[in-house]
């Protein structure tokens, strides 16, 4: 079964780019699925950096990507191919170049605060509402009486 990748990029007080994407290939482990997801997020981060530079907002510091899987982070930072990772499609390994070039920084975060979980799995109502609020998304109920609603 193919996993689902998810990411959200915040600017200011809310999300301005997000996605939930069915992965193109089957991952053989959770670490591999998370690594593939981090690669999807890296591709988006690189594009967003380009767009922001077009608006005169050059990104000097690496874009911080948060990942709740230490094994996926280790795979991205270790350029040695091991028997457990040698089958991962090479197209996902560009994340290593982005790390080495200082364009991104892949950092660990606890699962409890991983905002992208809202895009990848079913959640209990309280967790869903917490993540939705953390992303800066409001409930449609709060829009009642607004123009066009």
Ranges of each domain in the chain: 4-137
Cα gap 8→16, rounded to integer Å: 8
Residue that the structure tokens 């890296």 belong to: 42
The model carries a pTM of 0.83
pLDDT band at 139 (very low <50, low <70, confident <90, very high): confident
Q: Note whether 65 and 38 are within 8 A (CB).
A: yes
Q: How confident is the model at residue 89 (pLDDT cuts 50, 70, 90)?
A: low
pLDDT bracket for residue 104 (50, 70, 90): very high
pLDDT confidence tier of residue 146, bands split at 50, 70 and 90: low
Average pLDDT over residues 6-11: 91
Contact 93, 55 (CB under 8 A): no
């Amino acid at each position: 079964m193919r996993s689902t990748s998810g990411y959200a990029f915040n600017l200011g007080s809310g999300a301005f780019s997000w996605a939930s994407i069915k992965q193109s290939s089957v991952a053989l482990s959770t670490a591999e699925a998370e690594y593939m997801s981090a690669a999807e997020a890296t591709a988006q981060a690189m594009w967003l950096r380009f767009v922001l530079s077009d608006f005169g907002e050059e990104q000097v510091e690496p874009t911080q990507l948060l990942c709740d899987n230490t094994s996926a982070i280790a795979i991205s930072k270790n350029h040695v191919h091991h028997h457990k990772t040698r089958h991962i499609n090479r197209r996902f390994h560009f994340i290593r170049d982005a790390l080495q070039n200082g364009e991104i920084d892949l950092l660990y975060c606890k699962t409890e605060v991983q905002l992208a979980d809202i895009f990848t799995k079913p959640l209990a109502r309280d967790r869903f509402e917490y993540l939705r609020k953390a992303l800066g998304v409001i409930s449609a109920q709060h829009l009642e009486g607004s123009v066009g609603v």
